[in-house]
Amino acid sequence: MSELLNNSEIAAALEMQPQWEREGDTLVRAATFPTFLTGLAAINDIATLAEEANHHPDIDIRWRTVHFRCTTHSKGGITQLDVNLAQAIEDVISKHQPS
Ligand SMILES: C[C@H](O)[C@H](O)[C@H]1CNC2=NC(N)=NC(=O)C2=N1
């Protein structure tokens, strides 16, 4: 699960997650929320999932826009853990958007 993915595996994962992009050894996503506090509520939910997975995104909060970066620091690149985390983050982002 935490072995480095090759380029085609990463490309296939991104096909499933079109909101995410690859920046070198990291999967990245910028999400804009209705309010600053909504963004923080989403981050709180993501933090719980990250703790459960023992795999954590890098998070950069810019008012209502939150930048997520997923990479496996201990491996120095992208693993299935990052793909799974990106999917979990995407699900939380969707839940915190206006219906
Ligand atoms: C001991 C090590 O820090 C832990 O296994 C986890 C914590 N969360 C982590 N998160 C991420 N993104 N990469 C890691 O290598 C990682 N390691």
Output the domain CATH number for residue 83.
3.30.1360.20
Q: Which pLDDT score, from 0 to 100, does residue 1 have? A: 67
Indicate the pTM of the whole model: 0.95
In this structure, which residue's CA is closest to atom 9 in ligand 1?
55
Q: Which of 59, 61, 53, 40 is nearest to 80 (CA)?
A: 53
Residues of the chain with pLDDT under 70: 1
Q: State the pLDDT at residue 99.
A: 82
Separation of alpha carbons 42 and 65, rounded Å: 11
Residue 1 lies in a domain: no
pLDDT at 51: 98
73 CB within 6 A, ligand 1: yes
Does 80 fall in a domain?
Answer: yes
The contacts of residue 36 (CB under 8 Å, 6+ apart) are: 63, 64
Report the separation in Å between the CA atom of 12 and the middle of ligand 1, taken as the mean of its atom positions.
Answer: 24
Place of tokens 């709180």: 44
The count of structural domains within the chain is: 1
